[in-house]
């Protein structure tokens, strides 16, 4: 059983923020910033493609609720929503989860690095590949 499934069943304790019939939100035990939360579906799936219909709607609503808590309870309008999907993207636990990371000025939490601008040919080729 994966770590998040164990948290969902209560086998592993967590600092639960809220729960729905299909989703759980809890604090990250290795927070990048104060209030760093994880939103996970109760259904074990590795990525967003594993959810559909009501499961996907409930998960999306839970992510929105977590973002609302950042604004209303933590009093900051700034946050990152991060989903690492797959080993090369940095996914450590193979269970879909979104990180909700509240941000403050000069908090030192670097979550993305900008790449370099590419050629027009590059963008045309990438767009053609994705549009097929």
What 79-82 contacts at long range (C-beta under 8 Å, 24+ apart), as own/partner pairs, is: 79/103, 80/111, 82/111
Q: pLDDT band at residue 113, thresholds of 50, 70 and 90?
A: low
pLDDT digits (tens, 9 = 90+) for 34-78: 999 999 999 999 999 999 999 999 999 999 999 999 999 999 989
Residues in CB range of 11: below 8 A, 6 or more apart: 1
Tell me which architecture the domain covering 3-131 has in CATH.
2-Layer Sandwich (3.30)
pLDDT digits (tens, 9 = 90+) for 71-101: 999 999 899 999 999 999 999 999 999 999 9
Catalytic sites, residue numbers: 97
pTM for this model (two decimals): 0.88
């Amino acid at each position: 059983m994966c770590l998040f499934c164990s948290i969902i069943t209560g086998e592993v304790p967590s600092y639960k923020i809220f729960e729905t019939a299909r989703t759980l939100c809890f604090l990250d035990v290795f927070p990048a910033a104060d209030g760093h939360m994880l939103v996970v579906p109760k259904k074990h799936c590795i990525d967003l493609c594993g959810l559909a219909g009501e499961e996907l709607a409930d998960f999306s609503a839970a992510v929105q609720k977590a973002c609302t808590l950042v604004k209303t309870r933590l009093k900051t309008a700034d946050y990152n929503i991060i989903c690492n999907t797959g080993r090369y993207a940095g996914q450590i636990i193979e269970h879909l989860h979104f990180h909700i990371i509240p941000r403050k000025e000069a908090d030192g939490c670097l979550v993305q690095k900008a790449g370099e601008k590419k050629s027009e040919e590059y963008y045309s080729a990438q767009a053609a590949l994705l549009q097929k």
